[in-house]
Chain A
Amino acid sequence: MKILVPVKRVIDYNVKPRVKADGSGVDLANVKMSMNPFDEIAVEEAIRLKEKGPAEEIIAVSVGPAKATETLRTALAMGADRAILIETDETVEPLGVAKLLAKVVEAEAPQLVILGKQAIDDDSNQTGQMLAALLGWGQGTFASKVVVEGDSVDVTREVDGGLETVKLKLPAIVTTDLRLNEPRYASLPNIMKAKSKPLEQKTPEDYGVDIAPRLKTLKVVEPPVRQAGIKVADVDELVAKLKALGVA
């Protein structure tokens, strides 16, 4: 079984993002970038499935600028077998990414696509679902447990009311939640070996996909600074204030 793992290069989770002065987006100049943490969990899950048996090959794929090769090298160092970069300097929206991934799926015929439930830069939480719709495959989103058995996969999902387990016929889409696993560190020898693993370079045009944006960003603003609280003299005043605010 082949597993396809899409990974995205995003602003590092430790970095405090700053909005550009003109409000057009987040300033990424000289900012540390890393693999989207949910995608790391996806890579780890694929590796575990390979270590346990059901998977034979793991292909990492990324849509993004040339620098996204670093993200793919990370996936290769962790244990992916080969990688595909679909290079573009344009902003690609989730639908565009899903359409490109659908083409990669067509070419590679994986039985399972495991991807992060969302990327921590735009928090869209759409790509996996859109890919499932485009392919007509079953989807198990927000996975906290993944068990492959024969020609199906059991996915335990983190839903509002607790946990829900769905059985999906393969091929299928799985999106990862935070508690699925704890991703490994790539070992230093494997980081060195990653360089010799195959990394294929493609462009959106190679797949004939129109990635032109469908959405327009009007404005990006910093979250408002938290206002100082007010002190009240007694409970009566507290109740009066709460009523005035319409929350009691």
Chain B
Amino acid sequence: MDTESFDLLLDTLRRFVAERLRPLEAQVADTDAIPDSLIAEMREMGLFGLSIPEEFGGLGLSMVEEIEVAFVLGGTTPAMRSAFGTNVGIGSQAIVQDGNDAQKAAWLPRIASGEIITSFALTEPDVGSDSGAVKTRATKAKSDDGADGYRLSGSKRYITNADKADLFTVMARTGGEGASGVSAFLVPRDSAGLSVGAPEAKMGQQGAHVCDVNFDDVFVPAENRVGPEGEGFKVAMRVLDRGRLHISAVCVGVAERLIADAVAYATQRKQFGQPISDFQMIQAMIADSKAECMAAKALVRETARKKDAGARITLDCAAAKLIASEMVGRVADRAVQILGGAGYIADYGVERLYRDVRLFRIYEGTSEIQRLIIARETIKAGG
């Protein structure tokens, strides 16, 4: 996209975040729901189609552009982004990256418009970080009217947006043990035998829901398999590489928001007859947060540039996710500290963000898994 149009796009988003999303943050957290009218506004804005190619009705942003958008979206509570986040990231990218023409034509236009919500179902009750060990089974079978396909049985856990999802990307075992026995499937919500549990009560990010998804002998037509049999784990890992980079950018955006909130407070709040921002111990916290945030931002931008250039970015994405998610955790902790008593009080919103950002170190791969990936890739490359 040309610079002028993209600047206008970012500017419009900044206004949308500041004027429409931020004022509703507390309400979304209190009611654990995003108002339908706001979802409609997000659709109208085109937010559900950020990463969907233009030919399918999306914006077709490059990764370099998408992360700039994510920085801006980080300016509001992560639950808001979650409303369209799965359509932009893990819910749509298996189709974008590995889907065939028919799958793309069938689903992407409706994903881009936000008509349907998508979800990514990998994690299971017994399968978290060891994601190659999925137990959900997909057995070759015929439908009642004789069509070729599979029957899925098993349970998925902590599935983001499952309660609203119309389409799930599901990883299920078609072959033997290990990652090479897993295949990826597109499973519509209305498939017979598919049921979704109640949303879990969570530590933060109220307004964004995670639920169990259960498959009881669910028939999935053969044309809904994404990629060849046994390639599902690779499909999932490619989706997660990209998702990790997007999440890293959101971490940077939230950190920038927290730093701005902390600075605004520190320059107003007076103790011992002067603004607390005059005190060096407060300044040290601001400086550490700012410098760490800039470093993470630079890494995210560099990784996005490499992805657009076609480089292999598994290590880079893991590093960006590790650095950015750990960084925003520290920044949030310092922001609470700078606000002091006010940092612990709900009205100021900082304690809410402190709880919200805790998830970034866990989902789409824990910090520990990111370290394993970084070490594995580094040792493999000899340095």
Interface: A176 (CB within 8 A): no
Asked if B46 and A73 make an inter-chain contact with CB atoms under 8 angstroms apart, the answer reads no
| A34 and B19 alpha carbons, distance in the complex (Å) | 16
| A188 and B8 alpha carbons, distance in the complex (Å) | 9
Interface: A129 (CB within 8 A): no
Q: A185-B15, A187-B46, A189-B46 are in contact. Are A70 and B4 (CB under 8 A)?
A: yes
Which secondary structure dominates chain B's binding surface? helix
Asked if A189 and B16 make an inter-chain contact with CB atoms under 8 angstroms apart, the answer reads no
Asked if B5 and A189 make an inter-chain contact with CB atoms under 8 angstroms apart, the answer reads no
B58 to chain A: closest residue by CB? A189
Interface: A186 (CB within 8 A): yes
Interface: B12 (CB within 8 A): yes
Interface: A174 (CB within 8 A): no
A-B contacts, CB under 8 A, total: 49
Asked if B46 and A69 make an inter-chain contact with CB atoms under 8 angstroms apart, the answer reads no
| A194 and B44 alpha carbons, distance in the complex (Å) | 16
B41 to chain A: closest residue by CB? A185
Q: A185-B45, A187-B44, A187-B46 are in contact. Are A192 and B1 (CB under 8 A)?
A: yes
Q: A187-B44, A189-B59 are in contact. Are A73 and B5 (CB under 8 A)?
A: yes
Which residues of chain A have C-beta atoms less than 8 A from B5's C-beta? 73, 191-192, 194-195
Which residues of chain A have C-beta atoms less than 8 A from B49's C-beta? 188-189
B8, chain A: closest CB distance, angstroms: 5
Asked if A77 and B46 make an inter-chain contact with CB atoms under 8 angstroms apart, the answer reads no
B235, chain A: closest CB distance, angstroms: 28
Interface: B101 (CB within 8 A): no
Asked if A186 and B1 make an inter-chain contact with CB atoms under 8 angstroms apart, the answer reads no
B297, chain A: closest CB distance, angstroms: 20
Which residues of chain B have C-beta atoms less than 8 A from A185's C-beta? 12, 15-16, 20, 45
B49 to chain A: closest residue by CB? A189
Interface: B108 (CB within 8 A): no
A193, chain B: closest CB distance, angstroms: 9
The A68-113 residues at the B interface (CB cut-off 8 A) are 69-70, 73-74, 77
Asked if B12 and A73 make an inter-chain contact with CB atoms under 8 angstroms apart, the answer reads no
Which residues of chain A have C-beta atoms less than 8 A from B47's C-beta? 188
B62, chain A: closest CB distance, angstroms: 13
A34 to chain B: closest residue by CB? B11
Which residues of chain B have C-beta atoms less than 8 A from A190's C-beta? 46
User: Quick one: CB contact mask for B201-243 with A, threshold 8 Å, 1 for yes?
Assistant: 0000000000000000000000000000000000000000000
Interface: B30 (CB within 8 A): no
B213, chain A: closest CB distance, angstroms: 30
User: Quick one: CB contact mask for A175-191 with B, threshold 8 Å, 1 for yes?
Assistant: 00000000001111111
Interface residues on A, range: 10 to 19
User: Quick one: CB contact mask for B3-22 with A, threshold 8 Å, 1 for yes?
Assistant: 01101110111011000100
Interface size on B, residues (CB 8 A): 22
Interface: B2 (CB within 8 A): yes
| A189 and B44 alpha carbons, distance in the complex (Å) | 9
Which residues of chain B have C-beta atoms less than 8 A from A70's C-beta? 4, 7-8
A71 to chain B: closest residue by CB? B8
B112 to chain A: closest residue by CB? A189
Which residues of chain A have C-beta atoms less than 8 A from B16's C-beta? 185
| A37 and B13 alpha carbons, distance in the complex (Å) | 17
Which residues of chain B have C-beta atoms less than 8 A from A192's C-beta? 1, 5, 9, 54, 59
Of the candidates B8, B13, B44, which one forms a contact with A77 in the assembled complex, judged by CB atoms under 8 Å apart? B8
| A181 and B11 alpha carbons, distance in the complex (Å) | 21
Q: A195-B2, A195-B5 are in contact. Are A188 and B46 (CB under 8 A)?
A: yes
A201, chain B: closest CB distance, angstroms: 15
Of the candidates A34, A73, A186, A188, which one forms a contact with B4 in the assembled complex, judged by CB atoms under 8 Å apart? A73
> Counting chain A CB atoms within 10 Å of each CB, which of B8, B45, B50, B59 scores highest?
B8
Of the candidates A34, A69, A188, which one forms a contact with B9 in the assembled complex, judged by CB atoms under 8 Å apart? A188
Which residues of chain A have C-beta atoms less than 8 A from B12's C-beta? 77, 185-186, 188, 191
> Counting chain B CB atoms within 10 Å of each CB, which of A70, A190, A192, A194 scores highest?
A192
User: Quick one: CB contact mask for B257-295 with A, threshold 8 Å, 1 for yes?
Assistant: 000000000000000000000000000000000000000
Which residues of chain A have C-beta atoms less than 8 A from B2's C-beta? 195
| A68 and B20 alpha carbons, distance in the complex (Å) | 26
A184 to chain B: closest residue by CB? B44
> Counting chain B CB atoms within 10 Å of each CB, which of A34, A69, A188, A192 scores highest?
A188
B59 to chain A: closest residue by CB? A188
| A195 and B47 alpha carbons, distance in the complex (Å) | 19
User: Quick one: CB contact mask for A190-207 with B, threshold 8 Å, 1 for yes?
Assistant: 111011000000000000
Q: Can you name 5 A-B pairs with beta carbons within 8 Å? A: A73-B4, A185-B16, A192-B1, A192-B5, A195-B4
Beyond contacts A185-B12, A185-B15, A189-B59: 14 other A-B pairs, Cβ-Cβ < 8 A, are A34-B11, A69-B4, A70-B4, A186-B8, A187-B44, A187-B45, A188-B12, A188-B45, A188-B47, A188-B49, A189-B46, A189-B49, A191-B9, A195-B2
List of 4 A-B pairs having minimum Cβ-Cβ separation, nearest first: A188-B46, A189-B46, A191-B9, A187-B46
Interface residues of A (CB under 8 A from B): 34, 69-70, 73-74, 77, 185-192, 194-195
